[in-house]
Amino acid sequence: MPLPDESYPYLSDVVKALSGVDLPLPMPMFGLLVLVALVAATFVLRLELRRRWATGELVPEDQGNAAAPRSLEQLDEFTTTFAAAMLLSGIAGAKLFSVLEDPGAALADPVGQVFSSNGFNIIGGLVVATAVGVLMLRRKGIRVPPFLDAAAPALMLGYAVGRIGCQVSGDGDWGVVADPAGKPAWLPTWLWAQQYEGNIVGVQIPAPGVHPTPVWETVIGLALFGVLWALRRHTFRSGWLFSLWIVLSAVERLLIEPFRVNELHGPWALSQAQYLSAVFLVVGLAGLVRFRARRTSSPGPEPSTVSPD
């Protein structure tokens, strides 16, 4: 039976823990759960895009771009392509920012650093993926602000589910050493300290263990997804919900970083993610102010004729 404080790097480890059967299934659990995160985020994005398509928010009526989607089927096709591009560019950006975070190691072993299975900076992935996404939308003649608003809940859900992959595989993306004296009495021990036995990076963590920050981020991410989903029919100008996603993501990361193992840089001895999150926070707050004006028309109810299939 799988235990919450153990790691299961490969699918075969999960099958063995559940059934006792040892099967040759070398599929990495991290990659499998990233795929699950992509599917979940794409499903939610497609739902919201279809609703916004029915309200006429996505493509201008006088759109002269021949590449612009003209039907729900074409929109769905673009959504799938867009999601795949976000995944690939996000992985590339996360790896790029991770390499830049430790240039000394990159110069000493550039091939090993680039192609290693660990060392991904999620903030860098968001920066690069957002830039690529905006370029794709402009080429398709799709309005960027309402599309980004539609993507905000999906991005948060994908992040929350993706962190499950970090937790299950034990990829090293955990917290600092936990102090048992600081644990709230109502919190289970495994939610405060874990040793990640059998983790994929092969690190032996002594008792009492480290903070399971991926679990914390999954819980926080799911809660924030609920907030964004509840506010998706907001009455502010397009771009407001995406700005809120930026703010919530930045605040979440700023709160979690002090509990994580990090390389600290600069005059304030902060991690790269903290510096980037601070910039994100300012950008997001500016967006909330800029788009706070009420729209002259409501985004409309979700059409009952639209299905996710």
Q: What is the mean pLDDT of residues 222-248?
A: 96
Both tokens assigned to 242: 């995406």
- Checking if the pLDDT of 308 tops 80, the result is no
- The domain spans of the chain are 11-57+66-290
**Nearest residue to 195 via CA among 219, 178, 215:** 178
Tens-place pLDDT, residues 60-92: 766 666 777 888 888 999 999 998 898 888 888
Q: What is the mean pLDDT of residues 115-144?
A: 79
CA–CA distance, 274 with 73 (Å, rounded to integer): 41
Q: What is the mean pLDDT of residues 37-46?
A: 94
- Checking if the pLDDT of 305 tops 50, the result is no
Stretch among 76-80, 129-133, 267-271 having the lowest mean pLDDT: 267-271
- Checking if the pLDDT of 106 tops 90, the result is no
CA–CA distance, 5 with 9 (Å, rounded to integer): 13
pLDDT given at position 109: 57
pLDDT, mean over the chain: 85
What b/e readout covers 54-83, taking b as 16+ CB neighbours within 10 angstroms?
A: bbebbbeeebeeeebbeeeeebbebbeebb
Ranked by mean pLDDT, the top range of 76-90, 117-131, 146-160 is 146-160
Q: What is the mean pLDDT of residues 31-54?
A: 93
CA–CA distance, 66 with 258 (Å, rounded to integer): 49
pLDDT given at position 71: 84
Ranked by mean pLDDT, the top range of 95-99, 159-163, 295-299 is 159-163
pLDDT given at position 268: 75
Stretch among 80-89, 93-102, 179-188, 228-237 having the lowest mean pLDDT: 93-102
Q: What is the mean pLDDT of residues 284-295?
A: 92
Phi and psi of 209, rounded to 5°?
A: 110, -170
CA–CA distance, 161 with 170 (Å, rounded to integer): 15
Q: What is the mean pLDDT of residues 227-242?
A: 95
Q: What is the mean pLDDT of residues 157-178?
A: 93
**Nearest residue to 4 via CA among 219, 277, 179, 238:** 219
Tens-place pLDDT, residues 171-215: 888 999 999 999 999 999 999 999 999 999 899 999 999 999 999
Residues, the chain: 309
Confirm if 276 and 130 have CB atoms less than 8 A apart: no
Stretch among 25-29, 79-83, 95-99 having the lowest mean pLDDT: 95-99
